[in-house]
Structure formats: structure tokens, C-alpha cells
């Protein structure tokens, strides 16, 4: 699952059919694969919005 998410993040326009087949071979159903893809895409989207607007991270110390 994490390999698929990393590959989707690093090469979003790549061929992912074999990775999806691998997920299915490990027991992930279509809904789970959709959810993995959606969460990965959403995370990338939110980061692009934050980067594009110049949002700065908060200091973890308070």
C-alpha cells in the first residue's frame, strides 16, 4: 500500500495498473484501492494549495 502511494506521489502520470494488481493480490478490494488513491491524491492536493499560497508551518513548540 505504501509503495503504491509513494509511486503515485512521485510519478502521478505513470502506469499504475501493475501496482493495483499487486494491491489486489495482497487482499485489497476495489474500495480500499480507491480510498488509498483518494487519500494520496488529497494529501498532494492540499500540499500544493499550501505551497501555492505560501502557507508556513506552525512551530511545534507552541
pTM of the model: 0.81
Those residues whose C-beta lies under 8 Å from the C-beta of residue 3, and which sit 6 or more positions away, are 19, 22
Tens digit of each residue's pLDDT (9 = 90 or more) over 40-52:
999 999 999 999 9
Q: How many CB atoms lie within 10 A of CB 4?
A: 19
| Predicted pLDDT at 62 | 58
Give the whole-angstrom CA distance, residue 25 versus residue 14: 20
Question: CA dist 46 to 16, 24, 30, Å?
Answer: 22, 28, 24
Which residues in the chain come in under a pLDDT of 70? 62
End-to-end CA distance of the chain: 34
Amino acid at each position: 500500500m505504501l509503495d503504491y502511494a509513494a509511486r503515485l506521489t512521485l510519478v502521478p502520470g505513470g502506469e499504475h495498473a501493475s501496482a493495483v494488481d499487486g494491491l489486489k493480490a495482497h487482499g485489497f478490494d476495489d474500495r480500499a484501492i480507491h480510498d488509498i488513491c483518494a487519500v494520496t491524491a488529497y494529501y498532494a492536493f492540499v500540499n500544493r494549495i499550501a505551497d501555492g499560497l505560501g502557507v508556513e508551518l506552525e512551530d511545534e513548540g507552541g
